[in-house]
Amino acid sequence: TPSATLVPRVLPTTSQVKIHIFTLIQQFLEFDKTCKKRITPSVITDGERGFEQTKACYLQEVIPFFQTIKDNFEGIQKVLTREVKQMKDLFEELEAEVAQCAVDRKHDAIDRKNLLISNDNLIAECLSKEVFSVVTKSELNVARFAKMHVVNTFVEARCLAFEAELATLHDKSHQENQGELIKHFSKLELTKVTDPVTNLQAQNDRFRAENDKVKQHYKQLYDSIKITRAKHIKQVTKLTANNVTLKTSVSKAKVQPSVLTRTKHAVDVELIVPRLRNNMDVHLDYLRHLKESAETIRDIVEEAKVVRPLDRSIVSACRYTQHSQELLEYAIGTCPQGSKQRAK
């Protein structure tokens, strides 16, 4: 007779289908042994007794065997249905997670794009504010030095008026002293002429000394005014050149300067890349490169000045390049300490 359901030594932990299949294999092996035993001819199988024996075999062994097979197949079908449903639910959950990941990725890309746009807007706003500040400071400097020029003109006019008044006083004092001396000498007696003449000469010397002091004072005042006027004119010229240089640097156009001697001088100044405009090291390198370009331009102007020393435009260009070079040196020298250390 078929034995009870056999259980394999190692059971799978995830699927029950293998257990039912293993049970079916064991059942088929037992059924094969039973069939071979029952169909083998013997003395017992002959006659009516053999028929009864075969009938009992079908009723007791074959029919229960097929019922067991049917139950195992039904169990396999149920287990397969349940596991297929579980796998389907699992795949649906995985598809939902994948779809959610794709949506999250799109949201992250949109947020990143919005952040980049905000960053670009902030950079543009900072640059516009910086340009506005530079232009405003340059205009204030020009207005201030225009007022100083007006004050200098007024001081020069006052100085000229003082000089005219000084000349008038000098002539008047000389004439008055001479008339007083003549009248005084005419009234003195011969015996008292020597002492008054000595006193008058001493008085005249004092007047001359005071007059010389006044002349020296007004001369010093006039010289100081001339020096102040020259300094003011030089400062106004320098600030005007600096203003032109700043306005030129503010404009975003890329300028390719002409090269007089291709093999000796070459000026190549490029604008800073927008993504590096907030880097202090890049600005410092840019100023140094601009300084080298200014030195190259100055060398070119110096050579042209040697060829044409009487050309006023070349002299003006030489002076402007010198001012530009001084301005760049000042800008490099006033960079923050941290940028200087990183540059080193």
Q: Does residue 237 form part of some domain?
A: no
Q: Does residue 153 form part of some domain?
A: no
Entry field: residues in the chain: 344
Could you read off the pLDDT of 9-57 as tens digits, one per residue? Answer: 344 445 666 676 777 777 677 766 666 665 555 555 454 455 566 667 6
Going by C-beta distance under 8 Å and a sequence separation of 6 or more, which residues neighbour residue 277?
123, 127, 283
Alpha carbon distance 2, 60 (integer Å): 10
Structure tokens at 176: 């008055």
Structure tokens at 258: 């002409």
Q: Does residue 72 form part of some domain?
A: no
pTM, entire model: 0.25
Could you read off the pLDDT of 270-315 as tens digits, one per residue? Answer: 555 555 556 667 767 777 777 788 788 878 878 877 877 777 777 7
Domain with 331 in it: 254-344
Q: Does residue 217 form part of some domain?
A: no
- Asked if 241 and 323 touch (Cβ cutoff 8 Å), the reply is yes
Q: Does residue 317 form part of some domain?
A: yes
Q: Does residue 180 form part of some domain?
A: no
Q: Does residue 336 form part of some domain?
A: yes
